[in-house]
């Protein structure tokens, strides 16, 4: 595994018992960890609805052609992704009695709820009018999502820098995230049917209104139960272009950006194609909710195991191993017979277990790259670091959705009819995400911040802080 240029001789790592008098290495209470973690349950009421159901909503309910929907998802997500660094720059420069990032959770909650309802509303318009409406409402939804998600993700980077506490905090976050994913995957379609009472369009609208109300309450909990401890150096005054230049010279961060895009392609293709796979390839649409729920539960279990795994295996090496497993099993999935339902569910659970630790590991690495940037330059831009990562995730998700819908169009997909060719649907659920997972394993192997290097970096940052006191 390649390493960055060697650093000057560093003092011994700060021992864990030093944490009580060092806010950077704070041990977090259970209520604060839970308060932060539950926020991602709220985000997944939207993120999972988008990843698992928005494509099929646009093609089978809203009435857009698959190719048009794919292009719309990609174009709007590219524009949206470019707003993430802007939100990050604003958040880094926010000054309030509640910190830099927490106030944004209250500011963005209601706009997010309203935009979610409008996105899943089907107006009585012609095809051109529907396309324009979809572009506007989905763009508004993702802009509101950026205003919320970038500060929320950045919050984990300033609550503590204690390596194991950070791993645990982010693991709990993704347990909550996958719990939200499980809830959405299991209950969204039944809720649409129940709330709509036969009117599928009304059902989607009311379901998103319910999700919006729940999410607003959750974001308020996160605001009140968390605390920001790590602040930039007191004399730091930087311009946005300085922050961007720092990131472009931050090798660990650059690797993580590429990794985020590739892994989101893997996740989006697996989640988004599941509906099409079971409805048109397996011809068992009744299994969709249970399949997605099993997937989300296995992801949550994998995330829960992350703190234990990182005690014994360096997180960089662990991520390489896990993504290699995901890739290998995904390719093997292609050869499962259509009537071997038990094998489909088994492979799905195994793949998801291996994929589960990806999120806590990667987001912990983003926080580490912010520390690395502070150590290297003397400047800290936490939100800018996380916003660019979120940008890469959105681009990866958009490319995944667009690739899926374009592939369906190439293979002659027609909504709610038997498909002439089912090969493309099978590839989208199996081989294609598998190849991207193997590419992710290769990318991680170049990441230079192992545990030993991070301990030296944290120790040197603390020495500088002591020198300023």
pLDDT tens-digit series, residues 152-173: 988 887 888 777 787 788 888 8
Q: What pLDDT shows up at residue 220?
A: 96
Q: What is the pLDDT of residues 282-313, one digit of tens each?
A: 888 888 888 988 888 898 888 888 888 888 88
Lowest mean per-residue pLDDT among 27-36, 242-251, 271-280, 420-429: 242-251
Q: What pLDDT shows up at residue 5?
A: 34
Q: What is the dihedral of CA 295, 31, 170, 272, to 10 degrees?
A: 30
Tell me: pLDDT of 7 over 80.
no
* Greatest mean pLDDT range, 90-99, 339-348, 401-410: 339-348
Q: What pLDDT shows up at residue 313?
A: 87
Tell me: pLDDT of 13 over 50.
no
Q: What is the pLDDT of residues 178-189, one digit of tens each?
A: 889 889 988 999
Share of the chain above pLDDT 90, in %: 30
**Where does the pLDDT of residue 406 fall: very low under 50, low under 70, confident under 90, or very high at 90 and above?**
confident
* Greatest mean pLDDT range, 64-68, 102-106, 386-390: 102-106
Lowest mean per-residue pLDDT among 141-145, 199-203, 255-259, 321-325: 255-259
Tell me: pLDDT of 458 over 70.
yes
Q: What pLDDT shows up at residue 195?
A: 95
Over residues 373-379, mean pLDDT: 77
Whose tokens are 């790259």? That residue is 369
Tell me: pLDDT of 452 over 50.
yes
Tell me: pLDDT of 278 over 80.
yes
**Where does the pLDDT of residue 9 fall: very low under 50, low under 70, confident under 90, or very high at 90 and above?**
very low
CB neighbour list of residue 198: distance below 8 Å, 6 or more residues apart: none
Q: Which structure tokens are listed for 414?
A: 């027609």
State the pTM of this model. 0.66
Q: What pLDDT shows up at residue 468?
A: 64
In whole angstroms, what is the distance from residue 302 CA to residue 351 CA? 10
Q: What pLDDT shows up at residue 237?
A: 61
Crossing angle of helices 315-333/431-444, nearest 10°? Answer: 160
Q: How many CB atoms lie within 10 A of CB 452?
A: 10
**Where does the pLDDT of residue 368 fall: very low under 50, low under 70, confident under 90, or very high at 90 and above?**
confident
C-beta separation of 173 from 164 below 8 A: no
Mean pLDDT of the chain: 83
Crossing angle of helices 109-119/200-225, nearest 10°? Answer: 160
Q: What pLDDT shows up at residue 177?
A: 87
Q: What pLDDT shows up at residue 8?
A: 33
Q: What pLDDT shows up at residue 320?
A: 93
Q: What pLDDT shows up at residue 439?
A: 93
Residue 250, phi then psi, degrees to nearest 5: -100, 95
Q: What is the pLDDT of residues 23-46, one digit of tens each?
A: 666 678 889 999 999 999 999 999
In whole angstroms, what is the distance from residue 73 CA to residue 52 CA? 13
Higher pLDDT pick, 244 / 441: 441
């Amino acid at each position: 595994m390649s390493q960055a240029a060697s650093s000057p001789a560093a003092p011994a790592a700060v021992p864990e018992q030093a944490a009580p008098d060092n806010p950077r290495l704070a041990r977090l209470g259970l209520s604060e960890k839970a308060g932060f973690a539950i926020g991602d349950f709220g985000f997944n009421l939207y993120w999972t609805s988008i990843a698992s159901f928005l494509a099929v909503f646009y093609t089978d309910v809203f009435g857009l052609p698959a190719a048009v929907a794919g292009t719309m998802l990609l174009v709007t997500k590219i524009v949206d992704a470019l707003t993430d660094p802007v939100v990050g720059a604003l958040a880094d420069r926010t000054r309030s009695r509640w910190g830099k990032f927490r106030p944004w959770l209250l500011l963005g909650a209601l706009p997010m709820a309203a935009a979610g309802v409008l996105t899943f509303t089907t107006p009585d318009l012609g095809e051109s009018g529907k396309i324009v409406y979809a572009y506007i409402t989905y763009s508004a939804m993702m802009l509101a999502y950026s205003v919320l998600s970038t500060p929320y993700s950045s919050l984990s980077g300033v609550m503590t820098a204690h390596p194991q506490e950070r791993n645990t905090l982010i693991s709990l976050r993704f347990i909550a995230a996958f719990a939200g994913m499980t809830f959405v995957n299991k209950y969204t379609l039944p809720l649409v049917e129940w709330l709509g009472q036969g009117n599928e369009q009304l059902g989607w609208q009311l379901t998103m209104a319910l999700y919006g109300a729940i999410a607003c309450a959750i974001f308020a909990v996160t605001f009140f139960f968390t605390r920001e401890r790590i602040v930039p150096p007191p004399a730091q005054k930087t311009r946005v272009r300085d922050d961007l230049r720092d990131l472009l010279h931050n090798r660990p961060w650059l690797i993580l950006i590429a990794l985020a895009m590739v892994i989101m392609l893997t996740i989006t293709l697996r989640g988004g194609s599941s509906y099409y796979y079971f409805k048109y390839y397996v011809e068992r649409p009744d299994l969709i909710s249970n399949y997605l729920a099993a997937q989300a539960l296995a992801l949550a279990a994998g995330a829960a195991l992350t703190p234990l795994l990182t005690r014994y295996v360096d997180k960089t090496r662990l991520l390489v191993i896990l993504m290699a497993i995901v890739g290998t099993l995904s390719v093997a999935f292609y050869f499962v017979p259509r009537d071997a339902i038990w094998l489909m569910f088994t492979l799905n659970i195994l793949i998801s277990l291996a994929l589960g630790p990806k999120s806590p590991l990667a987001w912990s690495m983003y926080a580490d790259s912010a520390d690395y940037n502070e150590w290297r330059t003397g400047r800290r831009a936490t939100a800018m670091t996380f916003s660019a990562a979120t940008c890469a995730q959105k681009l990866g998700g958009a490319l995944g959705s667009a690739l899926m819908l374009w592939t369906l169009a190439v293979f002659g997909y027609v909504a709610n009819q038997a498909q002439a060719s089912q090969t493309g649907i099978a590839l989208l659920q199996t081989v294609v995400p598998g190849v991207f997972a193997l590419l992710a394993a290769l990318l991680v192997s170049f990441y230079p911040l192992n545990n030993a290097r991070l301990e030296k970096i944290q120790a040197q940052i603390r020495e500088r802080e002591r020198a300023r006191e």
